Homo-oligomer: A and B are copies of this chain.
Amino acid sequence: MSREYQGSDTVLDVGGLKIGGGTFHVVAGPCSVENQTQTLETAKVVKSYGATLFRGGAFKPRTSPYDFQGLGRDGLELLKQARAATGLPIVTEVMSPQDVAMVASYADILQIGARNAQNVPLLAEVAASGKVILLKRGVSGLIDEWLLAAEYICVHGNSQVILCERGIRTFEHACRNTLDLSAVAVAKKETHLPVFVDPSHAAGRFDMVIPLARAAVAVGADGLLVEVHPDPATALSDGGQQLKPKQFGQLMAEIRPIVEVMGKQMGGG
């Protein structure tokens, strides 16, 4: 994945969308897919504000076994309906090697979550799916480990990888994690892959998402993952960090001129 082997930026194709190079994409959607209304409503509203991909969790890696674990296959069906209604390609997480083929039959981009950043059997299996992989950095992953995880996907025959920084675990607890934007700059220098940033999981609180999103654009990221929920107060997971639709609209308005300053164009035009 090193710039030593390929100097120019990798540009991935997802259903006609070009990811990487000079285009900037925002992937938006709820933390968890909860029901049809919530899913379709969110997909439509984030598209209206300029999101170009839709995200939502059907399989949720929760810390506690007593928390909501996701709708599973039913959730994937709802994501498929959202794509049919909006045309937005789907990004969703897969947690188990046994589920890869099934999830890949629904999703356009398979997400490897932070807890699975070094799950070698899973990395091998998603590589074999032939899908584009969005690979989150582990919550305590060294940049080197993150890039080597991308290498695991590559040696299994798939070089369509989007790197995603989502905050690291440090001593500071004002935000849930510490967003490491230097990791974006390092990854952009050392690899030719697109690098996205997830400010929602890093912040863990909605009021920090917009400033961190602006900073992510300015440091050189190629895209954002942002959690949006029609009514965060009733969300089944991570309510505190999800933006309301209007707040997401404000985020899009604030990042757009910085995307332009960076010499890029918004994926949705």
Contact = CB atoms under 8 A, between A and B. Distances in A.
Interface residues of A, number: 65
Given A152-B65, A215-B216, A207 B189 contact: yes
Contacts of A202: 182
B143 A174 contact: yes
Contacts of A211: 181-182, 184-185, 188, 218-220
A97 B56 CA distance: 24
A68 B88 CA distance: 41
A124 to B, nearest CB: 9
A180 B172 contact: yes
Per DSSP, chain A at the interface is helix
A94 B119 CA distance: 12
10 contacts: A61-B120, A63-B118, A168-B171, A169-B171, A174-B186, A179-B180, A214-B220, A215-B218, A215-B219, A261-B261
A175 to B, nearest CB: 5
Contacts of A178: 168, 170, 178, 180, 182
A234 interface: no
A119 B121 CA distance: 11
Interface of A: 61-66, 69, 95-99, 115-116, 118-122, 138-140, 142-145, 148, 151-152, 155, 168-175, 178-186, 188-189, 202-203, 207-208, 211-212, 214-220, 257-258, 261
A178 B32 CA distance: 30
A155 to B, nearest CB: 5
A262 to B, nearest CB: 8
Contacts of A116: 119
Given A179-B181, A186-B174, A121 B148 contact: no
Contact of A168 (B170, B203, B220, B261): B170
